Chains A and B, each alone.
Chain A
Amino acid sequence: MSTSAIDLSLPYKKRVDDALHNQQLKVALDRATGRMAGQRVAAMGAVDAPRLRAQVRQMKEHVLRTWPELLEQLETQVTANGGHVHWAKEAADLQRIVVEIARKANVQKVVKAKSMATEEVHLNQALQRAGLKVVETDLGEYIIQLAGEPPSHIVAPVIHRRVEDIAAIFQRELDMPPTLDPQVICGVARGVLRKEFLSAEMGISGCNFAIAETGTCCIVTNEGNGRMTSTLPRVYVVVMGLEKLVPTVEDAFLQYQALCRSSTGQQCSVYLSMTSGPRKPGDVDGPEEFHLVLLDNGRLDMLAKGYGEALCCIRCGACLNVCPVYREIGGHAYGSTYSGPIGAVISPNIHLEVTDVDKLPYASSLCGACRDACPVQIDLPRMLLELRRDVVEAEGATLFDRAAMQGFSKMMQSRSSYESAGKLGSLASNVLARLSGGNLTFLPGPLSPWTASRDLPPLARHSFREQWQQRRAARKQIV
């Protein structure tokens, strides 16, 4: 039996509770995150990882420093190659631009390769509202499209589903005979998708990186669906976040290395599809029309707000796979297109509608595993801390929390109040602990979540400072 996915519009607490109580989700996440994290360690371990990480970081920082120039260079090159470049400030702009392209080219059916940017702006829904049929062709994306769910991982959209769940979806939606054989399941999808590829008039994909010096859009896939999306239909549209830019061909392969090794633990992906423009006279295949749509949706502001470091992200998903929080709750509990540590940093910064977005920076124990795994060395814990500060400064904290923190700070600012509070705490906690047999097993009010699952020792009867002073007094007497 497959259970329904977590509703993204629910409050944060409810989403998390639903995730924690979903046994299938737990199994699916355990299987996949552990495998992907292990593969990444092996693949990065096979190269000079510190050097690769430093090089990619340096390159991405260079991109941010020369951002406007590189974007202009990209536009010039794509245009020179015969393509069209469009600029979308917000989600609505992107929707309008793509629908317009489809109308003009008299498109009925769209095949899509994986794209988080189009998820971010809900492009599929907009195209469907305009009367178009949209088919996702990445296997993972196709499965969740059948199930009516959003992706729950940047590179593995259906990571929240076990093979058992996927088989059930295919049996229900595609009349597949009962089987758990992944090859058979893939074969069914392949059969359906092949027909869609051959009949679609328009292909839409994301962009793993675009090369400014040549005007080339690159997509990294393992299934070949990207290649078919970019070559079979008459019209090919690439949707790209403004930051997915590299200056040179050499830089592209640097990022490609880091991406493949960090995301799936491969030396290189099965396909790397590069499109520099529409079909030229004499070409055997390729689209007649090529469009590149550049999406801002808050990215430029992010740099201005001091969170530019997150724009170095190459969307490999390594931070999700190693995050102990993501491993427990999966992607949907974050309530955003982007989940995990990087999602908790991006989501409050770009223009996304996320319920309880202020809670996301707190969905971390600040353990730092994400920073260690990141191929671009993004200091995610630092940004999570700064986002928490922003939440408090924007009066996002509850009155109770504010009062408690102010009281805590005041108490700790004076030795005497700290010592008195310690004495009082020791007395009270020892009385309570005696009642429950040595440890505190029940605490009231805001601390009750601790004792719901954990014991707590009482404060010491004699603090360290008391013992220290006693020793000093005793020593003086001896002398």
Chain B
Amino acid sequence: MADKRTYSSPPRRVALFVTCMVDMIYPEVGVATVELLERHGVEVVFPLEQTCCGQPAFNAGFWDEARPLARRFVDIFEPLLRTKQIDAVVAPSGSCTAMTSHFYRQLLAEEPGYPERAALLAAATFELTEFLVDVLGVEGVDAQFTGRLTYHGCCHLLRELGIDRQPRALLQQVDGAEWVALNGAEECCGFGGLFAVKNSGISTAMGNRKVQNLVRSDADVVALCDVSCMTHINGLLSRQGERCRAVHIAQVLANQVDVRPRTLPEPPAQPLEKPRRWQDTT
């Protein structure tokens, strides 16, 4: 985006804005994000005060309830940036990045002092793949994946932040992946936050379109950049007994995802490998 900060030397230290959904439901996505950033020579700090950016309340029209959360978010991250303790904020989510870097402008417009601080923060807040490709200039990823892989462009990522080329470029470099095309890859999956509950019929119909397209694509895994959309797509796939799964792109890039080729026979019953945790080799 035009108003993003540019770096004369590569950023050394970033704060992770992990997002509440990753923190509470998908910690492995946070782990993968940290691994990726550290792999590319960036030190990660994690401000423990962070909770939710306020998007659910904001999108539902409860701006008075969202505002304290927005102020709180700015109070946590902006001083770190201003005092140069960090060079950037990185989040494994297009939606939460859009909330803090686009919609805070609208939400905090009347809060004395905050618009300027929110703007400073917005300029240095990046979605993970945007940070890896545009800021760090990552070209090679050390990732392997056996199976058919495709990509779904989440709405806020694609249309609020204009990020599409970056995640696709990273996925193209995954070794061993067979790339398959997904029809309607840029169409909404129907999640939309509370929309999925308040308008569940429409939301499900939209999601079923996505499921149909995924099944037709014959992909084993669809990578995406938001765990919210991932939850919706997986919720439908799981309920309908489909084999395809949505995973966060960080999981693919950090080698957390393993798909057995379909041609191999079912292995004898064995306990599943435990989800990978930290790789602490240092």
Say which one of B1-9, B141-149, B203-211 lies at the interface with A: B203-211
Say which one of B48-56, B173-181, B216-224 lies at the interface with A: B48-56
Docked-complex contact B27 and A20, CB < 8 angstroms: no
Does B172 make an interface contact (CB < 8 A)? no
Say which one of A81-89, A96-104, A268-276, A387-395 lies at the interface with B: A387-395
The residue from A392, A413, A449, A458 contacting B61, defined by CB atoms under 8 A apart: A392
Q: Which residues of B contact A415 (CB under 8 A)?
A: 48-49, 51
Number of interface residues of B (CB under 8 A): 67
Docked-complex contact A364 and B201, CB < 8 angstroms: no
B53 closest partner in A (C-beta): A412
- 8 closest cross-chain pairs (CB), A and B: A365-B192, A388-B61, A454-B235, A368-B159, A449-B200, A367-B188, A464-B30, A409-B65
The residue from A329, A455, A460, A467 contacting B25, defined by CB atoms under 8 A apart: A460
Does A406 make an interface contact (CB < 8 A)? yes
Q: Which residues of A contact B60 (CB under 8 A)?
A: 388, 392, 397, 401, 405
Does B20 make an interface contact (CB < 8 A)? yes
Q: Which residues of B contact A17 (CB under 8 A)?
A: 201
Known: A467-B278, A475-B280. A391 touches B61 (CB 8 A): yes
The residue from A329, A382, A462 contacting B106, defined by CB atoms under 8 A apart: A382
Q: Which residues of A contact B191 (CB under 8 A)?
A: 365
Does B190 make an interface contact (CB < 8 A)? yes
Does A366 make an interface contact (CB < 8 A)? yes
Main secondary structure of the interface of B (DSSP, over half): helix
Q: List 14 A-B contacts (CB under 8 A).
A: A17-B201, A20-B202, A364-B195, A365-B195, A365-B203, A385-B61, A390-B61, A409-B57, A409-B66, A412-B54, A450-B196, A454-B232, A465-B23, A465-B46
Chain B proximity mask over A288-302: 1 for CB below 8 Å, otherwise 0: 000000000000000
Does B85 make an interface contact (CB < 8 A)? no
B34 closest partner in A (C-beta): A468
Does A222 make an interface contact (CB < 8 A)? no
Docked-complex contact A456 and B231, CB < 8 angstroms: yes
Chain A proximity mask over B219-237: 1 for CB below 8 Å, otherwise 0: 0000000000001101110
The residue from A426, A455, A464 contacting B238, defined by CB atoms under 8 A apart: A455
Does A251 make an interface contact (CB < 8 A)? no
Docked-complex contact B27 and A325, CB < 8 angstroms: no
Docked-complex contact B200 and A453, CB < 8 angstroms: yes
Does B114 make an interface contact (CB < 8 A)? no
Does A308 make an interface contact (CB < 8 A)? no
Docked-complex contact A453 and B236, CB < 8 angstroms: yes
The residue from A363, A409, A450 contacting B197, defined by CB atoms under 8 A apart: A450
Quick one: which of B236-282 are within 8 Å of A by CB? 236, 238-239, 277-278, 280, 282
The smallest C-beta distance from A428 to any residue of chain B, in angstroms, reads 12
The residue from B18, B204, B234 contacting A453, defined by CB atoms under 8 A apart: B204
The smallest C-beta distance from A239 to any residue of chain B, in angstroms, reads 33
Docked-complex contact B46 and A468, CB < 8 angstroms: yes
Q: Which residues of B contact A453 (CB under 8 A)?
A: 200, 204, 207, 235-236, 239
A429 closest partner in B (C-beta): B25
A30 closest partner in B (C-beta): B209
Docked-complex contact B57 and A405, CB < 8 angstroms: yes
A17 closest partner in B (C-beta): B201
The residue from A369, A371, A425 contacting B188, defined by CB atoms under 8 A apart: A369
Q: Which of B48, B61, B158 has the most CB of A within 10 A?
A: B61
The smallest C-beta distance from B183 to any residue of chain A, in angstroms, reads 11
The residue from B27, B69, B159 contacting A467, defined by CB atoms under 8 A apart: B27
Q: In whole angstroms, how far apart are the Cα atoms of A460 and B20 in the complex?
A: 12
Docked-complex contact A409 and B192, CB < 8 angstroms: no
B102 closest partner in A (C-beta): A382
Q: In whole angstroms, how far apart are the Cα atoms of A414 and B203 in the complex?
A: 32
Q: In whole angstroms, how far apart are the Cα atoms of A328 and B195 in the complex?
A: 14
Q: In whole angstroms, how far apart are the Cα atoms of A56 and B224 in the complex?
A: 35
Chain B proximity mask over A119-145: 1 for CB below 8 Å, otherwise 0: 000000000000000000000000000
A358 closest partner in B (C-beta): B61
A396 closest partner in B (C-beta): B61
Docked-complex contact A397 and B61, CB < 8 angstroms: yes
Docked-complex contact A459 and B199, CB < 8 angstroms: no
Does A282 make an interface contact (CB < 8 A)? no
Q: Which residues of A contact B171 (CB under 8 A)?
A: none
Docked-complex contact A425 and B24, CB < 8 angstroms: yes
Known: A415-B51, A450-B235, A462-B27. A385 touches B202 (CB 8 A): no
Q: Which residues of B contact A460 (CB under 8 A)?
A: 24-27
Q: Which residues of A contact B58 (CB under 8 A)?
A: 385
Known: A365-B206, A450-B197. A464 touches B22 (CB 8 A): yes
Q: Which residues of B contact A361 (CB under 8 A)?
A: 61
Q: In whole angstroms, how far apart are the Cα atoms of A247 and B46 in the complex?
A: 56
Q: Which residues of A contact B192 (CB under 8 A)?
A: 364-367
Does A362 make an interface contact (CB < 8 A)? yes
Docked-complex contact A467 and B31, CB < 8 angstroms: yes
Quick one: which of A326-358 are within 8 Å of B by CB? 328-329
